[in-house]
């Protein structure tokens, strides 16, 4: 295997010079730098990333723990996280917990062992601060864990906007369908705010929850079917995600219920699906790109030892389309 000594001998420089070129430390003449890089290519020499991180005390890698990487929202979020991290010369190490508490804990400890510089944690199961040692920068998504900064969209405003819009469109028999409220997530504020606004206007809200595995699309379909078998009088539904909204619309159509004539439906996230579905889904847009940009920026500030905001709440927007 080619070593730095081999590169140094062929380039006619010292091993120290090769090391300084690789780690971009100290002054090196352009001619010497280019010569070292040329020899590295000729010998197909690739620096050991772990060794470099030990030398620099920095890995230029961010860990990302997601609950369901196949969910369109988290796939989109991951894509933006990778994009903005790469712009700052960082790479992403991805962990998919699949809502399993033990996997979240194991992945967190693995990322610590791999000496990533920081972690973006979308935890849906455990209080990681109570389960393991936090000795590196961490920012959580849509969950407030004591002692850790978090980032999220304005869930309270999202619920309020949904209620206001359905009421303004004449809906009176309202329901919310979303993930389990047993999970301690900031996204629960969508339901709470929606309910408060509707009740303040004199209307009751029926609440339908998925199981703890709230990203199972088959369960969305089953829950939507149950709703229409029990309560066909509903005329306004606020869904906790666009995927749930799509399942509701599909089941409504199967039951001869017209959207939006008989039933108005609002989703959440503003996935590409919302624009492609028929009817197009009215939704609350989360600023996914800005969430990723802000999260990466805050993590990298923390890596540098700078103070960062403990609460990072970004604005949401009502996008009116055909379903409401």
Among the ranges given (8-12, 146-150, 227-231), the one the predictor scored with the smallest mean pLDDT: 227-231
pLDDT at 280: 96
Position 278 pLDDT exceeds 80: yes
The rounded distance, in Å, linking the Cα atoms of 21 and 25 is 7
Mean pLDDT of 99-111: 83
pTM of the model: 0.80
Over the chain, what is the mean pLDDT? 87
For the residues 154-174, what does the mean pLDDT come to? 96
Closest C-alpha among 283, 322, 299 to residue 153: 283
Contacts of residue 115, Cβ cutoff 8 Å, sequence gap at least 6:
50, 53, 54, 59
**In the beta sheet, which residues pair with residue 62?**
92, 118
Question: What percent of the chain lies above the pLDDT cut of 70?
Answer: 91
- Residue 62 or residue 51, greater confidence: 62
If pLDDT is split at 50, 70 and 90, which confidence band does 295 have?
very high
27 three-class SS: coil
Q: Which value, in Å, is the radius of gyration of the alpha carbons in the chain?
A: 25
Residue 19 is predicted with a pLDDT of: 80
* Helix, strand or coil, per DSSP, at residue 276: helix
Q: Give the pLDDT score at 48.
A: 61
Strand-pairing partners, residue 64, are 94, 120
Among 256, 286, 274, which residue's Cα sits nearest to residue 324? 274
Minimal CA–CA distance to 207: which of 188, 222, 221?
188
Query: Domains in the chain, ordered, with CATH?
Result: 4-47 (1.10.260.40), 61-152+289-314 (3.40.50.2300), 155-287 (3.40.50.2300)
Residue 3's pLDDT band, with cuts at 50, 70 and 90, is confident
Q: What is the dihedral of CA 292, 293, 295, 296, to 10 degrees?
A: 110
Of residues 156 and 218, which shows the higher confidence score? Answer: 156
Q: Beginning with the edge strand found earlier in the chain, give each strand of the sheet holding 174-178 in spatial order.
A: 205-209, 174-178, 236-239, 264-269, 282-285, 317-319
pLDDT digits (tens, 9 = 90+) for 121-131: 987 766 666 66
Contacts of 37 (CB under 8 A, 6+ apart): 21
Task: Cis check for the bond before 177: say yes or no (omega within 30 of 0).
Answer: no
Q: Find out whether 301 and 287 touch, Cβ atoms under 8 Å.
A: no
Residue 202 forms beta bridges with which residues? none
pLDDT at residue 25, rounded to an integer = 67
Confidence band, pLDDT 50/70/90 cuts, at residue 54:
very low
Per residue in 184-237, pLDDT (tens digit) is 788 899 999 999 999 999 999 998 887 755 577 777 888 888 888 877 789 999
pLDDT at position 126: 63
Q: Return the pLDDT at 24.
A: 65
């Amino acid at each position: 295997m080619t070593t730095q000594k081999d590169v140094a001998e062929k380039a006619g420089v010292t091993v120290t010079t090769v090391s300084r070129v690789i780690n971009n430390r100290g002054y090196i003449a352009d001619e010497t730098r280019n010569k070292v890089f040329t020899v590295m290519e000729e010998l197909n020499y690739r620096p050991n990333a772990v060794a470099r991180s030990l030398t620099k005390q920095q890995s230029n890698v961010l860990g990302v723990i997601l609950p369901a990487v196949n969910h369109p929202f988290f796939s989109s979020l991951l894509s933006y996280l990778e994009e903005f991290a790469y712009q700052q010369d960082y790479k992403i190490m991805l962990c998919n917990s699949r809502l399993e508490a033990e996997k979240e804990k194991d992945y967190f400890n693995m990322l610590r062992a791999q000496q990533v510089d920081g972690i973006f944690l979308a935890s849906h199961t455990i209080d990681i601060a109570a389960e393991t040692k936090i000795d590196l920068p961490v920012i959580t998504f849509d969950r407030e864990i004591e002692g850790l900064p978090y980032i999220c969209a304005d869930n309270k405003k999202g619920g309020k906007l949904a209620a206001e819009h359905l009421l303004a469109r004449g809906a009176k028999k309202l329901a919310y369908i979303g993930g389990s409220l047993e999970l301690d997530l900031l996204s629960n504020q969508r339901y709470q705010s929606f309910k408060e606004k509707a009740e303040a206007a004199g209307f009751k809200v029926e609440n339908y929850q998925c199981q703890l595995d709230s990203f199972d699309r088959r369960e969305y379909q089953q829950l939507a079917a149950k709703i229409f078998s029990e309560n066909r009088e509903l005329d306004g539904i606020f869904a906790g995600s666009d995927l749930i909204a799509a399942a509701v619309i599909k089941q409504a159509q199967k039951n001869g219920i017209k959207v939006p004539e008989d039933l108005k439906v609002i989703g959440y996230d503003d996935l590409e699906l919302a624009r492609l579905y028929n009817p197009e889904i009215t939704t609350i847009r989360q600023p996914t790109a800005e969430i990723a940009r802000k999260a990466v920026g805050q993590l990298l500030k923390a890596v540098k030892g700078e103070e960062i905001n403990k609460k990072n709440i970004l604005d949401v927007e009502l996008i009116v389309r055909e379903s409401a």
